[in-house]
Amino acid sequence: KISENLPVIRQLDDGAINRIAAGEVVERPASAVKELVENAIDAGARRIEVAIADGGKTLIRATDDGCGISEAQLPLAMSRHATSKIDGSDLLDIHTFGFRGEALPSLGAVGRLTITSRVAGQGAFSISVAGGEMSAVRPAALGGGTIVELRDLFYATPARLKFMRSDRAESQAISDVVKRLAMAEPFVGFTLRDVTGGGDGRVSFRADPENGDLFDALHGRLARILGAEFAENALRIDAEREGLRLIGYAALPTYSRGSSVAQYLFVNGRPVKDKLLVGALRGAYFDFLSRDRHPAAALFIDCDPQLVDVNVHPAKSEVRFRDPGLARGLIVSALRHALAEAGHRASTTVAG
């Protein structure tokens, strides 16, 4: 009798597996945009354009001039756990945004996905996935690089569709994602276009590739994204301690804000929202700011990938430092030093 009610263990099919993974990786249109732009950066693109319609719900299209994907590799790009970025032997040595090989198959499980790509010296080809079903690879027309087009996100998962916010809110989230990635890649040009209703649409964000050394480029890019006022009030940060390098710009206390919206933190080029680092930023300004003000800063920590674990969660921007105290100490001391020096300069200028 009991055996009739016994649960049966079944192997899930690939479609179901991909939809489950998609639930983790693709929360909303902005998470799809993040995956596509990161892929373009990983492909060495110098220019990336993202076009969206209806807050990304009906269309997200990322166009890049990166290395492209060859005819033979297109089906693999769409396959789960297939990646060109690691060989699996060392998960602690990751130098790219991607490495799980999960984004494209996940997007193909929850939307209609088409990749068109061309490797230099070869022909252009395209492949599509809809509802988890992959098409054959077909010849296509494209000058170079890659176009990834995602239509009707979540059409196959109505429950998800209901949780999406207004077109305006989703567009805003997409803009935030693109701007954050653009801060981390000042030598790459970014364009965000809203093509709702068809046609060329309207450019909602544009940042041309910056020139000069890293600090010039970063300063120019931050001026473009955070505004000239931030750039004029920003102190250059450049410090190193035991293999951790900290660079970026931190604003004078007089430029502080009533909320923490202007705090941008990156670890090895990845935008992160990390309590430890935010706390360090706050701690650095402790003597310079009243409690109700928030410092504005864009800070980049770079280190050997061995010193930080980014393998925490695909969609969440968490990282785990091997030595959290080191990261905190570096931020606090570098910023305090810059702030004290700026304060000293200001007071000696006033004194004559």
* DSSP-derived secondary structure letter, 27: S
Region of 55 please: left (phi>0), alpha (psi -120 to 50) or beta: left
Taking CA atoms, 159 is separated from 34, 229, 258, in Å, by 22, 43, 37
Stretch that binds ligand ADP, among 60-68, 174-182, 206-214, 324-332 (CB under 6 A): 60-68
Task: Choose between 57 and 118: whose C-beta lies nearer to ligand ADP.
Answer: 118
Q: What's the closest the beta carbon of residue 118 comes to Mg ion, in angstroms? A: 19
Kindly give, in sequence order, each residue whose CB lies less than 8 Å from that of residue 215, ignoring residues fewer than 6 positions away: 236, 238, 247
**Interaction between residue 103 and Mg ion (CB under 5 A):** yes
Task: Choose between 148 and 339: whose C-beta lies nearer to Mg ion.
Answer: 148
Orientation of helix 275-284 relative to helix 324-351, angle to 10°: 30
Write out the binding residues for ligand ADP, residues 128-157 only, by CB under 6 A: 146
**Interaction between residue 98 and Mg ion (CB under 5 A):** yes
Write out the binding residues for ligand ADP, residues 40-59 only, by CB under 6 A: 40, 43
Write out the binding residues for Mg ion, residues 10-39 only, by CB under 5 A: 39
Q: What's the closest the beta carbon of residue 205 comes to ligand ADP, in angstroms? A: 19
Phi and psi, residue 63, nearest 5°: -115, 130
- Interacting partner of 246 out of Mg ion, ligand ADP, none (Cβ under 5 to 8 A depending on kind): none
**Interaction between residue 83 and ligand ADP (CB under 6 A):** yes
Region of 180 please: left (phi>0), alpha (psi -120 to 50) or beta: alpha
Task: Choose between 103 and 181: whose C-beta lies nearer to ligand ADP.
Answer: 103
- Interacting partner of 248 out of ligand ADP, Mg ion, none (Cβ under 5 to 8 A depending on kind): none
Q: Kindly tell me which residue out of 64, 149, 170, 185 binds ligand ADP, with binding defined by CB under 6 A.
A: 64
Task: Choose between 31 and 39: whose C-beta lies nearer to Mg ion.
Answer: 39
Taking the chain, what is the end-to-end CA distance rounded to the nearest angstrom? 95
Task: Choose between 98 and 220: whose C-beta lies nearer to Mg ion.
Answer: 98
Phi and psi, residue 10, nearest 5°: -120, 150
Q: Kindly tell me which residue out of 18, 19, 34, 39 binds ligand ADP, with binding defined by CB under 6 A.
A: 39
Q: What's the closest the beta carbon of residue 142 comes to ligand ADP, in angstroms? A: 12
**Interaction between residue 103 and ligand ADP (CB under 6 A):** yes
Task: Choose between 50 and 67: whose C-beta lies nearer to ligand ADP.
Answer: 67
Q: How far is residue 312 CA from its own chain's centroid?
A: 15
Q: How far is residue 218 CA from its own chain's centroid?
A: 17
Task: Choose between 51 and 277: whose C-beta lies nearer to ligand ADP.
Answer: 51
Q: Report the side by side order of strands in the sheet with 263-267.
A: 234-241, 244-251, 297-303, 263-267, 270-272
H helix intervals, 191-262: 214-226, 228-232
Q: What's the closest the beta carbon of residue 261 comes to ligand ADP, in angstroms? A: 29
Rounded Cα distance, 266 and 245, in Å: 12
Contact between 280 and 334 (Cβ < 8 Å)? no
Contacts with Mg ion, residue ranges (CB under 5 A): 39, 98, 103
Contacts with ligand ADP, residue ranges (CB under 6 A): 35, 39-40, 43, 64, 66-69, 77, 83-85, 98-104, 146
